[in-house]
Structure 1
Amino acid sequence: MSEPITLACPHCHRRNRLAAERLDQTPRCGACKESLFIGAPVDLGTANFNAHANADLPLVVDFWASWCGPCKQFAPVFTQAAGTAEPRARLAKVDTEAAQELAARFAIRSIPTLLIMHKGKEVARLNGALPPAEFQRWLTNNLPGL
């Protein structure tokens, strides 16, 4: 049996410890009893970002804004990727207008900007939208293993 990993619930944002081999067994949150994987990006803001970013499960973040054309075009690609990236990673969206302090903290200068966070550290960054195949390739090449 491997070391347990931590991940945050997409519903209540509480931290959960789970054996890595149980990730693909439809685990539920110990606090709210909801599924730990929802097959869709999680909306994050200042209050709940750190719970996900500091977890052992890699976090792929799309910094976006509602007025951004490329962000709107990329949104379906990102949403589709959430279904295939789980349970290897959590995908999340941060609205830079609503969470300006997060945008400043990560020096977001253009949107969309994609970050991969793992255990509280940024491990990869990409500015701009990508077609689905290129985004999947970027994820494959940059997602840390568990």
Structure 2
Amino acid sequence: METAKIKCPNCGKFNRVAAAAEGTPRCGNCHEPLPWIVAAGDDDFTEVTEKSSVPVLVDLWATWCRPCLMVSPALEQLATERAGRLKLVKVDVDAAPRTAERLVVRAVPTLLVLDRGEARARQAGAAPIPELRRWLDQALSDRADKGVTA
């Protein structure tokens, strides 16, 4: 399983962040929450998503998809805004065909919000950041309404 190199939005130091871990990542320098942005594939998707203590935003994308490449920075911004409360998992559907099939991906990008492996929200296609923020906030508030806490 790979680790990601994440720049702390608070102090600017780079930190290695495990794709799957207990709790949520914090900066080794300033101890502030870090954006949890990782990649997953067929071999580690289940471990990376289902064992997360926070909701997971899954970005199912493809390298050849222009809308996917356009929405990626917006998703990273949302993950940064919600550092410590959300995990962004990026899945290249061409490199992870079993995962794409299991999640019934018919178009890219497809976005999912998972809570302990259970799908809470799904959206196909790219959207502007305000719309993505509303969609994500709704999915996360639905989680809170059900009495689930991170």
**Paired residue for 1:49?**
45
AA aligned opposite 1:118: D
Aligned partners of 1:52 and 1:59 also within 8 Å: no
The within-5 A match list for 1:1-146 is 11-16=17-22, 18=23, 26=26, 38-39=34-35, 41-54=37-50, 55-143=52-140, 144-145=143-144, 146=149
1:40–1:80 contact (8 Å) kept in structure 2? no
3-state SS of the aligned residue for 2:112? strand
Whole-Å Cα distance in 2 between the matches of residues 15 and 77 of structure 1?
24
- The 1-side partners of 2:36 and 2:129 are apart by 15
Aligned residues: 126
Q: Stretches of 4+ moved more than 3 A in 1?
A: 9-15
Q: Distance in 1 between matches of 2:21 and 2:78?
A: 23
Give the SS at the match of 2:85.
coil
Output the aligned Cα RMSD: 2.5
1:98-123 deviation digits (Å, cap 9, x = unpaired):
00000000000000000011111111
Structure 1 alignment gaps of length 5 or more: 1-8, 29-34
Deviation at 1:14, TM superposition (A): 4.3
Q: CA deviation at 1:48?
A: 2.0
Q: TM-score, normalised by structure 2?
A: 0.73
For 2:108 and 2:20, the matched residues in 1 are separated by 29
In 2, Cα distance between equivalents of 1:91 and 1:71:
14
Task: Among all aligned residue pairs of Structure 1 and Structure 2, give the percentage whose two residues are the same amino acid.
Answer: 32
